[in-house]
Structure 1
Amino acid sequence: MNFKAGLGCLVLSLALFGCSKPYELENADAGAVAGDVGMVNSTGLYGANPYQSAGAFGINSNYTGNSGLGDFYQDPMYGVNVIGGPSGTERDRVVYFAFDSSNIDSRSENVIREHANYLRSHPQTMVVLEGHTDERGTREYNIGLGERRAYSVKSYLQAAGVNPQQMRVLSYGEERPAVWGTDELSYAKNRRVVIIY
């Protein structure tokens, strides 16, 4: 009988642990919670920046995290003089989207075109296409929308002659915002695909 009671406690503990909130804001800036457009802190909202590691999915990455990422949405130089490949700036590796859309606009086409040129000339290079959304919508819907956005970029790259085996699609949905805020400008900066080398 003690074995069954112990097993029941173990199952209950695992169930409660599985239902807990994994991204609770414990030490975040009060201003960020109130809708401040700035970054939460240098370690990121969810702890240490995972992009600081040796690479996403074993791919050698020189992506330095999202410090300032998203500030390019209003930049008039976004989509102009883009450098494709890993030597491009953060601005050169972000593709923005309209609300609830996975359609690519003309400024973003310039960004994708330069990466297609690089990837065609470097067939051994791999990229991860990370899809992101703003916080509106359910978690499940946003994961799907982020995935559709990443596949939209992949389709464009593939149509431009990039081997589909060079690309991986990953969706974070609303889980990794570029900026923290509840205004339209913040939402616009978070609706993106990031190209990771």
Structure 2
Amino acid sequence: MAKNNTITVLNTEVKIKVIDQNDFICITDIAKSRNPKHPDDLIRNWLRNRNTLELLGIWEQLHNPDFNPVEFDGIKKQAGLNSFTLTPKQWISLTRSIGLDSKTGRYGGTYAHKDIAFEFASWVSVEFKLYLIKEFQRLKEEEQKQLGWDVKRQLTKINYRIHTDAIKENLIPPELTRQQVNFIYAPEADILNMALFGKTAREWRDEHSA
């Protein structure tokens, strides 16, 4: 499922995309709230942290049957050394991680599963994390409302087809004109509209007319 959204958190635009039906949040955007010019440096510093690696490793073990624990142990042993560096792409390649997604290019960036992204936001700024969670929840509520509308709309289409077929077979004499047929269909359609939406088609048009 390919779907992208953007929320604004403390004047910073944060992109969200869906991967395998899971929400991934752009941690590159989150890092820009603290370091606008070099957000990748902030992410690499976060990945050097031993606590971060333990978080990522445990998350992968819980959600990823293909996770490579041998490589993970090798990486974790190096954590804390001055020479130790790690990029998101290296982490993904070495451990077969699914919790991070990193792409280059104009619309690229590093995304993290929402569980991980919230932890990164907390590492960057507790305040930013709290506002991020608030905006993310607002987005999910809006999506649920839209989903409810889409379900109702599809149900209306299905029921309308069944209903109109029944009208055609049982209520409409074959000798009626097209205009007379429309007079029969119209009130029957509004019965469905009232049941599902609480208003007739004309009432909806009147409310939304310019």
Provide the TM-score with structure 1 as the length reference.
0.27
Tell me which protein shows more helix as a share of its residues.
2
Larger Rg: 2
